[in-house]
Chains A and B, each alone.
Chain A
Amino acid sequence: MLTPDERERYDRQILIEEIGLEGQEKLKRSRVAIAGVGGLGSPAAYYLTAAGIGRIRLIDRDRVSLSNLNRQILHWEEDIGKKKVDSAITKLRNLNRMVEVEPIDEEITEGNIHQLMDGVEAIVDAMDNLPTRFILNRCAIEKRIPFFHGAVRSFEGRAMTILPGKSACLRCLYRGPIPEEKFPVIGVAPAIIGSILATEVVKYLLGIGQLLTNRLLMYDGLEAIFTEFTVHRNPECDHCGGIIL
Chain B
Amino acid sequence: MSIKVHIHSTHRRYTDGQEVVTVEGKTVGECLNHLIQQFPGMEKALFAKKDKLHNVIEVYLNQATAHPNELSKPVKDGDVIHLIIMLAGG
- A interface residues with partner B (beta carbon < 8 Å): 36, 38-41, 126-130, 133, 150-153, 156-158, 173, 175-179, 183, 185, 190, 216, 218, 220, 222-223, 227-232, 234, 236
- Contact B90 A38, beta carbon cutoff 8 Å: yes
Partner of B90, one of A39, A177, A222: A39
Contacts of A40 in B (CB 8 A): 90
Q: Binary interface profile of B, 1-35, with partner A (CB < 8 Å = 1, else 0)?
A: 00000000100000000000000000000000000
Known A-B contacts: A41-B90, A128-B88. Give 9 more (CB < 8 A).
A130-B88, A150-B90, A175-B55, A175-B57, A177-B55, A178-B88, A229-B84, A230-B63, A230-B64
Contacts of A150 in B (CB 8 A): 90
Instruction: Report the Cα distance A58→B63, complex, angstroms.
Output: 35
- Contact A157 B67, beta carbon cutoff 8 Å: no
Contacts of A185 in B (CB 8 A): 89
* Closest residue on chain B to residue A220 by CB atoms: B9
- Contact B58 A129, beta carbon cutoff 8 Å: no
- Contact B67 A175, beta carbon cutoff 8 Å: yes
- Contact A151 B89, beta carbon cutoff 8 Å: yes
- B interface residues with partner A (beta carbon < 8 Å): 9, 53-58, 60, 63-65, 67-68, 82, 84-90
- Contact A173 B89, beta carbon cutoff 8 Å: no
Distance of A8 from chain B, by nearest CB (Å): 34
- Contact A126 B88, beta carbon cutoff 8 Å: no
Q: Which of B53, B57, B88 has the most CB of A within 10 A?
A: B88
Distance of A149 from chain B, by nearest CB (Å): 10
Distance of B17 from chain A, by nearest CB (Å): 13
- Contact A158 B87, beta carbon cutoff 8 Å: yes
Contacts of B86 in A (CB 8 A): 173, 175, 178
Instruction: Report the Cα distance A192→B53, complex, angstroms.
Output: 30
Chosen A-B contacts, 9 in total, with CB atoms closer than 8 Å, are A38-B90, A126-B90, A129-B90, A151-B89, A152-B89, A153-B88, A178-B88, A190-B90, A222-B9
Contacts of A179 in B (CB 8 A): 56
* Closest residue on chain A to residue B9 by CB atoms: A222
Instruction: Report the Cα distance A16→B63, complex, angstroms.
Output: 32
* Closest residue on chain A to residue B19 by CB atoms: A223
Instruction: Report the Cα distance A75→B53, complex, angstroms.
Output: 39
Distance of B21 from chain A, by nearest CB (Å): 17
* Closest residue on chain B to residue A42 by CB atoms: B90
Instruction: Report the Cα distance A179→B88, complex, angstroms.
Output: 10
Distance of B15 from chain A, by nearest CB (Å): 15
- Contact B65 A230, beta carbon cutoff 8 Å: yes
Q: Which of B9, B85, B87 has the most CB of A within 10 A?
A: B87
Distance of B8 from chain A, by nearest CB (Å): 9
Instruction: Report the Cα distance A153→B84, complex, angstroms.
Output: 12
Instruction: Report the Cα distance A228→B60, complex, angstroms.
Output: 10
Distance of A203 from chain B, by nearest CB (Å): 21
Distance of A168 from chain B, by nearest CB (Å): 8
- Contact A183 B65, beta carbon cutoff 8 Å: no
* Closest residue on chain B to residue A180 by CB atoms: B88
Q: Which of A36, A127, A176, A228 has the most CB of B within 10 A?
A: A176
Contacts of B67 in A (CB 8 A): 173, 175, 234
